[in-house]
Structure 1
Amino acid sequence: MRYAVVADLHGRRKAWRRVLGDAQQRGADQVVCLGDYLEAKVPWRRHTAATHWELTDVVEPDPALWRELAGVDLVLGNQEWRIRDLLRSEQIFGDLDVLLAAPETRMLGAAMTMHGHQFSWEDGPARPGWPAVFYPRLVELPDVPILMVGHSHQTLLLDLPSLGETNGPAGVMVAHRRPVIPGVPTPVDPSGARRLLVNVGPARGKPSHWLLYDDAASEVTFHEVMPGRSNC
């Protein structure tokens, strides 16, 4: 199975169409959205479920986008959680009900997918010539061979130590960063002997990021697509 994995769309219909078109051209069999496919309009400082919120105050209705998203595999993100928390049950129906009822995790072969808000993120170690990124707190990650996430709006590949392995100085767990090269496949190990974290990158931007995960070939390929064309 060849999965097109998308994260952090934040309600951008044009970005969704760019990614979907590129994924179809590259032969993806199935599309999976790793959360934050919607955008909550209420900021955290005003977030209270006790307030009576109108639907349009909480999320911008987009029936066409919602209908398309309801037809793919979804993983709940923190934006969807906030929207669901602010609305009353009678306000959630039709395609929106489908979008807000997604599970928090989904297995794609050997890979577990989740949005990534379930664990903490911190500044990653500096490395000359590499852009700064956030690293997840390793002790909070599930013990799976491959973990695919979004949330932090970055592309990232991390070789992870075995759970509880103190492979760094002062008895700490250390992850090793791999380069991310769009369009170039990266082998993954479904056996779990070499654990890997894959951060997909945001679909909402320019370029829009997405990931092709070939379960049969055991490889992932990062892709970027600009408005008006498909490219690597």
Structure 2
Amino acid sequence: MRYAVVADLHGKRKAWRRVLDDVQRRGADRIVCLGDYLDAKVPWRGHDSTTRRDVTDVVEPDPRLWRELAGVDLVLGNQEWRIRDLLRDEQTVGDLDVLLAAPATRMIGAATAMHGHQFSWDDGPICPGWPAVLYPRLAQLPDVPILMVGHSHQVLLLDLLSLGDPAGAVLARRRPVTPGRPIPVDPGGARRLFVNVGPARGKPSRWLLYDDTASEMTFHEAVSQR
């Protein structure tokens, strides 16, 4: 099965179209969105679930985008959680109800997918010679062979190796990523893999092609073909 994995769209329809065009050109069996496919209009500092708001005060309606997103595999992000928390049940109808009812985690072949707001992030670098980026708190990560996330709006690929001590310490090694170049995946190996697919909302729009049958993944950067 070939999965097109997308994260952090933040309601940008043009970015969604760029990704879809690229996915259709390269081929995929299923599309998976790893959260923050919507964008909450209420900032976190103004988040108050006791205040009555209209839907348009909380999220920008986009019926066409919502309809298309409702037809793919979704994972709930922190933006969707905030929108859901700010609206009443009777306001989340139709496609919006589908978008806000996504699970927190989902299996994609041999990989576990979640948004990434469930654990903490720190400024790097943890790898000498690499640019400083946000790295996940290793001790908080689920113990799974492959973990795919978004949330931090970056491309990041880490090998995770357990040191075998009683404290459960984990060593992380950052791996280089070249768009368009396949990377072998060994879900049964000694090393776990942490994958941040990068944000779809920008230019270029980033996404990941994960081929579970061939045991490989390829990072892609989608640009407008029109």
Secondary structure in structure 2 of the residue aligned to 1:174: strand
Contact 1:144 1:192 in 2 (8 A): no
1:82 aligns with 2:82: yes
**Number of equivalent positions:** 225
Structure 2 Cα separation of the partners of residues 176 and 113 of structure 1? 20
Match of 1:215 among 207, 212, 217: 212
Match of 2:174 among 173, 177, 196: 177
Structure 1 unaligned segments of length 5 or more: list them. none
Identity of counterpart residues, as a percentage? 78
Structure 1 Cα separation of the partners of residues 189 and 103 of structure 2? 23
Contact 1:146 1:192 in 2 (8 A): no
Equivalent position of 1:55 in the other structure? 55
Structure 2 Cα separation of the partners of residues 39 and 190 of structure 1? 33
Equivalent position of 2:200 in the other structure? 203
Equivalent position of 1:121 in the other structure? 121
- Greater CA drift, 171-180 or 90-99: 171-180
The superposition leaves residues 2-26 of structure 1 with CA deviations (integer Å, 9 ceiling, x where unpaired) of: 0000000000000001101101110
Aligned residue runs from structure 1 range 38-117, under 5 A: 38-117=38-117
Structure 1 Cα separation of the partners of residues 71 and 46 of structure 2? 32
Shift of 1:62: 0.1
> Structure 1 counterpart of 2:192, which letter?
R
Contact 1:181 1:222 in 2 (8 A): yes
Contact 2:161 2:190 in 1 (8 A): no
The superposition leaves residues 159-203 of structure 1 with CA deviations (integer Å, 9 ceiling, x where unpaired) of: 0123x645xxxx953200000110001111111522000000000
- Greater CA drift, 3-12 or 190-199: 190-199
Cα RMSD (Å) of the superposition? 1.6
With the length of structure 1 as denominator, give the TM-score of the two structures.
0.93
Contact 1:75 1:105 in 2 (8 A): yes
The superposition leaves residues 125-144 of structure 1 with CA deviations (integer Å, 9 ceiling, x where unpaired) of: 26566332111001111111
Structure 2 Cα separation of the partners of residues 93 and 225 of structure 1? 32
Secondary structure in structure 2 of the residue aligned to 1:4: strand
Structure 2 Cα separation of the partners of residues 157 and 41 of structure 1? 31
With the length of structure 2 as denominator, give the TM-score of the two structures.
0.95
Structure 2 Cα separation of the partners of residues 165 and 116 of structure 1? 25
